[in-house]
Structure 1
Amino acid sequence: MTKRINKDTQVCMSLAARPSNFGTRFHNYLYEALDLNYLYKAFSPTDLTQAISGVRGLGIRGCAISMPFKEACIPLVDELDASAQAIHSVNTIVNTNGHLKAYNTDYIAIARLLANYKVSPDLVFALRGSGGMAKAVACALKDAGFTRGYIVAIDEASGKQLAELYGYEWRPDTDGIEADLLINATPIGMAGGNDADKLSYSEQEVDKASVICDVVG
């Protein structure tokens, strides 16, 4: 069936520094497969405030939020879901008649991933990153019972803050860390970025780990 756009088509969008073509194609594929009168388009805004105002003013039904806007958009919405409040990071905005409510489904996804794959909380983890995505991962790890882990972040202030918030240890790099669970929540390895060809962890670290998770597409 060929998708037809009409006056009743609901528009959803994403805001990211480097929009993913995969996400756009995936959403539109599902809309068509489920026979939903929706359209999904990715944007890379130069002015976040104006972009969020556009979501409200144009009646955009939903908006996915990616790097580096997950925290910056918080003052621009009307309400935060409990998950977004706890983590102080947002990845989804739902527009209901001009009322913008923000959620953090990153946390939900990581929590389900840990549970579905039965990842033992006895493992020592290394989490690279201290931004919005890393906050969601750290919170999910804590709630899943992980007590031993490292927040690996170049930015000392944000890295220490995140580590102290959940009772973990901050490190500027992975030197000397023996981790069974490796998680990347940075743009390292992201297609189209400056670090697209780099590894978030060394080959030796990957070989020694029992579980590896990269949450950046």
Structure 2
Amino acid sequence: MGKLYGVIGHPIGHSMSPAMHNDQFSQLGFDCYYQAFDVEPAQLEKAIEGMRALGIAGFNVTIPHKVDIMKYLDEVNEEAKKIGAVNTVVNDNGRLIGYNTDGKGLVLSLQRLTGTEIQPKSVLIIGAGGAARAIFVTLANIGVARVDIANRTIQKAKQLISVTNTAESHAISMKEAEASLERYDIIINTTSVGMSPNIDDIPLELTNLKRGTILSDIIYNPIETKWLRMGASLGAITQGGVGMLVGQGALAFELWTGEKPDFMRMEEVVINRLGGSKC
């Protein structure tokens, strides 16, 4: 019998991970299978005990378990500790070790989009929730020149910035961000504004956007948000949430297997599942 991998969350039926990973296992000829497990919050500890008992080789963690799972693991790597959440677990000879590939997944997708390193760039993050925290910590850790955070509640943005002192960062209001968009090379929306079914909403006005700015939205339903379409019409380079989704999955796959998966093929699988196209 081959190795078993999986993802835990609640609800979990919408997850793209089984399709992505099972296709890669098949493509690479690995005797492995990836299964989604619907785990209610009250059953999380028992579920982790079950993962241990079954010898599951690794698994992803999604909402609402990314924070609570940390107390049931044998080890959590330093970046995941700083982020305060785990989305990937590796079974290392019976020891469950937690990682967070969300922020690194976005960075990977941005580097593939631009073909260059992003350390010299000036970045604006919209939002100050869990996704913003993962992205901010990763950008700070890799030495990005400037990472500002715009949020409706500035105090929450300040709290997020306080988790690390390795980047030049400022907490700003949404209005201030809209007025000074020209200073940023990369703008990342980490909020749910614009997600289906509220597809006509936008997180930030783009009137002052400079041409060539990279607009990244972590939303992947719809594949291209109204905000991204507006940005493209103003000369921005745009990237939807499929990039981060595939990036974090690709890095998890590599942690489990030691092999780099086919990023483009994983992307195609997700886009096909979403019923869209790259155009």
Query: Normalised by the shorter chain, which TM-score bucket?
Result: 0.7 to 0.9
Matched, 1:181 2:186: yes
Residues 106 and 136, structure 1, Cα contact 8 Å, conserved in 2: yes
Matched, 1:25 2:28: no
Residues 70 and 132, structure 1, Cα contact 8 Å, conserved in 2: no
Identical pairs, percent: 26
Residues 28 and 40, structure 1, Cα contact 8 Å, conserved in 2: yes
Residues 89 and 133, structure 1, Cα contact 8 Å, conserved in 2: no
Task: Say which of 68, 71, 95 aligns to 1:75.
Answer: 71
Amino acid at match of 1:181: I
Number of equivalent positions: 208
**Normalised by the size of structure 1, how large is the TM-score?**
0.76
Between stretches 200-209 and 27-36, larger displacement belongs to 200-209
Corresponding residue for 2:242? none
Give 1:118 shift: 2.0
Alpha-carbon distance in 1 for matches of 2:202, 2:92: 41
Corresponding residue for 2:147? 149
Structure 1 residue runs of 5 or longer lacking an equivalent are 1-7
Amino acid at match of 2:157: G
Give 1:79 shift: 0.4
Q: Which protein is richer in helix relative to its size?
A: 2
Which structure has more relative contact order (CA 8 Å, sep 6+)? It is: 2
Alpha-carbon distance in 2 for matches of 1:31, 1:165: 37
- Aligned in 2, Cα 1:49/1:200: closer, same or farther, shift over 3 Å? farther
Give 1:131 shift: 3.4
- Where has structure 1 moved over 6 Å in runs of 4 or more? none
Alpha-carbon distance in 1 for matches of 2:198, 2:58: 30
Alpha-carbon distance in 2 for matches of 1:21, 1:206: 34
1:132-185 superposed Cα distances (whole Å, 9 cap, x missing partner) = 432231123223433433223346554321123345222453443424311122
Amino acid at match of 1:213: S
| RMSD of Structure 2 on Structure 1 (CA) | 3.1
Q: Residue 165 of structure 1: SS of its match in structure 2?
A: coil
Alpha-carbon distance in 2 for matches of 1:53, 1:206: 50
Alpha-carbon distance in 1 for matches of 2:50, 2:155: 33
Alpha-carbon distance in 1 for matches of 2:21, 2:208: 35
Q: Residue 67 of structure 2: SS of its match in structure 1?
A: coil
